Structure 1
């Protein structure tokens, strides 16, 4: 969706990117890092100097040491030393054209797939196999009616990308070879879009997956903010109403995060500065068939969310006014700290990263 300049999407924290960029890590229940959400202040974001002023809405956490960020002006950065240094691995063509990179999914320190947004040919997919030394354009949108918002991968081979509605239905691309080639899926199994409904290209989390086949798509802009679910890698979908308010082009669900194929949370609101965002959080325990409002939602618009790995209920949500944490699976949220971020992501080794405006990138650390 063309908001906040060129487009706004969902920011989400996706755990488990070592096995697959958008898979949620799960495991034995455990507490989060000391101080996370208990008010002690012993865990928080440690800023990592990037030397850039781009806005990073695309983020892929590979581990505590390795992360990729993608953003405005075609910029892509990569660190392999925990953020002490960053290598500019921007695709030359993306820089030359000033593409808006809004999502990046990384398999490891060398392989990543990035998405640029915009109408028609501005929506592209780029892939690298050598740590960003070279990039290959593997898809350029030929349809001026399409506007791609987000990417997700089930594993190192299978992935999807989604576009705002074309001919009254959301359009979905699929790859079976790690992003080297893409095809448009048939739309017969996609419900009709509501008037004005679209995705938000704010954080790369308007399309997320968990497990080998389940994927969810978040919407806003219509009369109701909906969450669509597919259990067959995007061939057929069912739509469920969320409890996050919509009814305006600036309101809806901006980010999804699923801990496993059944347990998910949604965050969003109204992205306009100073506008209230009541009921900005929702939870589901049945694979997104039904959604319940958070009893104590985030206090303001949030664009990204992520589960903290190997816990039953701990997750983070970020937005322009701060970071919130939940320890009960998204039913209640409390402030962790102030500071603007657009997106958040956690790796399987509990390396959590956040990124946003003015080149801001941070890693969650004990203090």
Structure 2
């Protein structure tokens, strides 16, 4: 059976998780407890069912976020939801989001959590990157409920979002092929930092980040 995995991350040196598009009636989720030497696929009895046209995007390796023992997986497409595990993948539940959905190219593309409660997701429709309605949402209850922010304000579609470390869940950087945007107020307003296109970003510490794009790598300095 052929499976394409969209995203992978680790809780610690031994325990990690990867996710891919549904093959049966659930997302394909595999977990390792031995540093990646062996992986076990979760059965669909352990995971919430997906709906028709619900999948995920391999946009930036940020469909999964982990903090402590928790994990959040975002889906996208016809339906865009959050699959949550409080115990490193042993049990799961699913929550709705207000992110734009309904087409195969819409939904959440990237999620990040600052801590166990405060999280942010971004996405949109990469075929209509200027669309800035219902493409940014924030949670303060661990992903159970989400609120749209920055409605009708740029940025539109982005493929990767990250909290700035040490910013008390206020500062965010979002990137995509349309450039780099920065928010200092939990995603309510944004400033365009660059028109250069990238696909993914990761912070080394609270003042240095690296962004990767097609045949390019950039070092970003903050503060």
Q: TM-score, normalised by structure 2?
A: 0.93
| Structure (1/2) with the larger strand percentage | 2
5+ residue gaps in structure 2? Answer: none
Q: CA RMSD in A?
A: 1.7
Displacement after TM superposition at 1:283 (Å)? 0.2
| Structure (1/2) with the larger helix percentage | 1
Displacement after TM superposition at 1:366 (Å)? 6.0
Displacement after TM superposition at 1:277 (Å)? 4.2
* Counterpart selection for 2:8 from 151, 159, 163: 151
User: Which structure 1 residue ranges, 4+ long, deviate > 4 Å from structure 2?
Assistant: none
Distance (whole Å) between structure 1 residues aligned to residue 132 and residue 189 of structure 2: 15
5+ residue gaps in structure 1? Answer: 1-142
* Counterpart selection for 1:307 from 160, 163, 173: 163
Q: Equivalent residue of 2:55, what SS?
A: coil
Distance (whole Å) between structure 1 residues aligned to residue 86 and residue 204 of structure 2: 24
Residue 51 of structure 2: aligned partner: 194
Q: Equivalent residue of 1:166, what SS?
A: coil
Report Cα offsets for 1:205-249 as digits up to 9, x if no partner. 0112112x1111111112x31111111112222211212101001
Q: Say whether the 8 Å CA contact 2:129–2:156 is kept in structure 1.
A: no
| Greater RCO, 1 or 2 (C-alpha within 8 Å, sep 6+) | 1
Q: Say whether the 8 Å CA contact 1:280–1:298 is kept in structure 2.
A: no
Within 5 Å, which residues of 2 pair with 1:1-367? 143-144=1-2, 146-211=3-68, 213-222=69-78, 224-272=79-127, 276-296=131-151, 297-312=153-168, 313-348=170-205, 350-357=207-214, 359-365=215-221
Displacement after TM superposition at 1:330 (Å)? 2.3
Q: Equivalent residue of 1:260, what SS?
A: coil
Report Cα offsets for 1:74-133 as digits up to 9, x if no partner. xxxxxxxxxxxxxxxxxxxxxxxxxxxxxxxxxxxxxxxxxxxxxxxxxxxxxxxxxxxx
Between structure 1 and structure 2, the one with the greater Rg is: 1
Report Cα offsets for 1:46-79 as digits up to 9, x if no partner. xxxxxxxxxxxxxxxxxxxxxxxxxxxxxxxxxx
Equivalenced residues, count: 221
